[in-house]
A = this chain, B = another copy of it.
């Protein structure tokens, strides 16, 4: 089984409110249909979630009643995005089933308190493709907070021990510097946990234009510790995504899982 994260910046225009990149998503769906593997899909909320979540300051928890309305509005927008993702997958005959984090998990001060992971298992057993996403959720300490797609990836990786985790991101992979501002930036083709430890200290390192780089590195480290390989690949390039999912060589970054010997 493969856990695939589709970055919010791949399928939405992150700087523009609620702009779904239909063509990009349709290409990804086509790749998945062609790949014929067992998948769990996690997608980011992109501009459907982040803008409202920021406006209502939802990630720092409950402060006023207005945020309750903000939470409601945000989860509805993210559900809208999820519906578009589902429809795109269905067009390619992928039997996608949506699992909403706000209904099945609770955090405690941003960390997982409890989650019904079994429901993913039940759908997979029946040949469905579970689709989950970054969402607003209840938080025991804070009232509510945000459960990012990256946190979901970590929880699901721990439980399902997938063959690999693939991040379809908005760039070619992990670079030695920010490729958008530094022409000398080089794509890191292969790395591992040990090397990542040094990498993460560099401030200008860049993997995703809008997502927190440090957060992504931490996610990858946690996956790597489970002995699972992570691949960062450009989600806008269907041929590369197909190869990354199929285990063929392509332009991307592979972070090898730690071998426990």
Residue on B nearest A116 in the bound complex, by CB: B116
The complex places the Cα of A93 from the Cα of B72 at a distance, in Å, of 10
Among A63-71, A180-188, A204-212, which stretch is in contact with chain B? A63-71
Q: A90-B69, A93-B69 are in contact. Are A79 and B76 (CB under 8 A)?
A: no
Least distance between A123 CB and chain B CB atoms (Å): 7
- Asked if A99 is an interface residue, CB under 8 A from chain B, the answer is yes
A207–B245 CA distance with the chains assembled, in angstroms: 54
Please give, as numbers and ranges, the residues of chain B lying within 8 Å of A68 by CB-CB distance.
95, 126-128
Check B122 against A65 for contact (C-beta < 8 Å).
no
Nearest residue (CB) in B for A140 is B122
In the complex, whether A98 has a CB less than 8 A from a CB of chain B is yes
Residue of B nearest to A73 (CB): B90
- Contact at A95–B71, with CB atoms within 8 Å? yes
Contact A76 B90 (CB under 8 A): yes
Q: How far is the CA of A138 from the CA of B126 in the complex (A)?
A: 9
B residues near A225, Cβ cutoff 8 Å: none
Q: Which of B75, B96, B104, B126 makes the CB contact (< 8 A) with A97?
A: B75
Cβ contact within 8 Å between A123 and B138: yes
Give Cα A127–Cα B127 distance, bound, in whole angstroms. 37
List residues of chain B with CB within 8 A of the CB of A102. Answer: 97-98
The verdict on A72 contacting B100 (CB below 8 Å), with A79-B79, A106-B122, A122-B106 known, is no
Known contacts A83-B76, A87-B76, A126-B144; decide if A116 and B104 are in contact (CB<8 Å): yes
A119 to B62, CA, bound (A): 18
B80 contacts A83, CB within 8 Å? Answer: yes
Q: How far is the CB of A3 from chain B (nearest CB, A)?
A: 18
Q: Can you give 30 A-B contacts (C-beta < 8 A)?
A: A65-B127, A68-B95, A68-B127, A69-B90, A71-B95, A72-B86, A72-B90, A72-B94, A72-B96, A75-B97, A76-B83, A76-B87, A76-B96, A76-B98, A79-B83, A79-B86, A80-B83, A83-B83, A97-B102, A98-B100, A98-B103, A99-B103, A100-B100, A103-B104, A104-B104, A116-B116, A122-B138, A123-B138, A126-B138, A126-B143
Residues of A at under 8 Å CB distance from B? 62, 65, 68-69, 71-73, 75-76, 79-80, 82-83, 86-87, 90, 93-100, 102-104, 106, 116, 119, 122-123, 126-128, 138, 143-144
